[in-house]
């Protein structure tokens, strides 16, 4: 469009010829958008806002008086605020290349000033400290001319072949070289150990391989020998099985013959012996039973006979008293006592006969009863010569008794 101007993103448009700019600026600053510029009335110029670079190479003296050649690079640009753009436009709009020259000179002066307050050791070991102090010293001065420094880099520091920096680095170089040699020796030793270990591992592997091969060979030979012996061994096993079968057959035949002998000879003989024993036991039992029966019958017959003869025994005993002179002193009671005595005498004779027959097993037969003797004369124990049973015999022995 006619009269409409637009600056690039890295430019600022300076419009002059019209009203004054903001804050009493002699011109209007336009950035980021366009504006109308009336022909023949207003004029538009452009100043760069892009990054610029300036190199500095200066010989500076340190606090120790040692000359050092220092090279540095400064990155700067026009400030983004309107005041910085106005200040830079007023100084560099017609010749913008002067910004790099002036910036280099400014930083060269500050670099000489800062290095003059430091030692070589500090400069070499603390480059960032040097750059920070230079930036801080030049910031205010650069802001006055509308420039802003983005960075300062110290590229090189050289003692111009004096040898100070090299001598300063010699101990470190020696230590580094010593450490390097130690590291190299350790690396060589580690390499040698690794090689020896590899050789030992290889030898061990070869030994194990030989052992395994020998084992394989032994197994193959054993298998071959076993295969060669398989035929004879199988024949021997077959013969052993035949012999075992024959022995088993013979054992079975012997057992069968033994069972036959037992069934044909031993069992009948045992049966016959048992039969004889049974018959003998039966006969013995029969004889015993007959003997017991006979003994029982004899005792019964004996008892019966004795009972039957008991009156005869008593009669014979009484008959023995028939020719005797017996005096009965106490009347009827004395006669009763005499009869009882005769019965008791008969029972005693019967019991003696039974015991004699039972002890010697004599045959039962008639029993001879002896006639009892006449009673003896009464003793003089009782009054008037009477005997204890009340019978008084005649002292003159004529058989006459007194009743």
- Gap between the Cα atoms of 100 and 47, Å rounded: 14
Residue 343 lies in a domain: yes
Query: What confidence tens digit (pLDDT) does each residue in 76-117 have?
Result: 999 888 888 888 888 888 888 889 999 989 999 989 989 988
Residues 342 and 361 grouped into a single domain = yes
23 or 204, which is more confident:
204
- Residue 131 near residue 152 (C-beta atoms within 8 A): yes
Burial class, 197, CB count within 10 angstroms (exposed 0-12 / middle 13-18 / buried 19+): exposed
Residues 56 and 151 grouped into a single domain = yes
Mean pLDDT of 278-296: 79
Domain ranges, residue 7:
1-50
- Residue 10 near residue 49 (C-beta atoms within 8 A): yes
The domain total for the chain is 3
Residues 57 and 142 grouped into a single domain = yes
Give the residue from 162, 191, 211 where a domain finishes: 162
This model's pTM is above 0.75: no
Query: What confidence tens digit (pLDDT) does each residue in 234-281 have?
Result: 888 889 999 999 999 999 999 998 888 888 888 888 878 887 888 888
Extract the tokens encoding 153.
């880099």
Give the residue from 129, 162, 195 where a domain finishes: 162
């Amino acid at each position: 469009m006619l009269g409409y101007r637009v600056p690039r993103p890295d430019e600022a448009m300076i419009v002059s010829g019209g009203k004054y700019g903001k804050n009493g600026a002699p011109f209007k600053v336009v950035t980021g958008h366009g504006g109308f510029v009336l022909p023949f009335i207003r004029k538009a110029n452009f100043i760069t806002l892009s990054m610029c670079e300036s190199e500095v190479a200066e010989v500076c003296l340190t606090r120790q008086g040692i000359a050092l050649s220092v090279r540095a690079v400064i990155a700067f640009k026009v400030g983004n605020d309107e005041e910085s753009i106005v200040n830079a436009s007023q100084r560099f709009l017609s010749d913008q290349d002067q910004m790099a020259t002036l910036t280099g000179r400014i930083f060269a002066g500050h670099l000489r000033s800062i290095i003059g307050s430091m030692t070589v050791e500090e400069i070499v070991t603390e480059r960032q400290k040097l750059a920070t102090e230079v930036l801080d010293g030049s910031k205010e001065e650069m802001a006055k001319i509308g420039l802003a420094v983005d960075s300062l880099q110290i590229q090189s520091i050289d003692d111009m072949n004096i040898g100070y920096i090299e001598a300063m680095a010699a101990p470190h170089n020696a230590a580094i070289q010593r450490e390097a040699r130690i590291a190299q020796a350790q690396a060589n030793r580690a390499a040698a150990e690794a090689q020896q270990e590899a050789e030992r591992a290889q030898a061990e592997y070869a030994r194990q391989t030989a052992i395994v091969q020998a084992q394989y060979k032994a197994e193959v030979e054993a298998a071959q020998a076993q295969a060669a012996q398989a035929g004879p061994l199988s024949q021997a096993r077959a013969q052993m099985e035949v012999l075992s079968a024959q022995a088993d057959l013979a054992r079975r035949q012997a057992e069968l013959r033994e069972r036959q002998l037992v069934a044909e000879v031993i069992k009948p003989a045992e049966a016959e012996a048992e039969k004889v024993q049974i018959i003998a036991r039966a006969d013995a039992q029969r004889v015993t039973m007959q003997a017991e029966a006979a003994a029982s019958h004899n005792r019964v017959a004996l008892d019966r006979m004795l009972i039957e003869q008991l009156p005869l025994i008593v009669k014979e005993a009484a008959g023995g008293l028939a020719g005797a002179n017996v005096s009965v002193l106490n009347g009827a009671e004395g006669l009763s006592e005499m009869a009882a005595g005769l019965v008791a005498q008969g029972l005693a004779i019967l019991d003696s006969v039974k015991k004699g027959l039972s002890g010697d097993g004599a045959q039962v037969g008639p029993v001879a009863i002896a006639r009892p003797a006449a009673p003896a004369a009464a003793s003089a124990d009782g009054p008037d010569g009477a005997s204890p049973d009340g019978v008084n015999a005649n002292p003159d022995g004529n058989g006459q008794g007194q009743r």
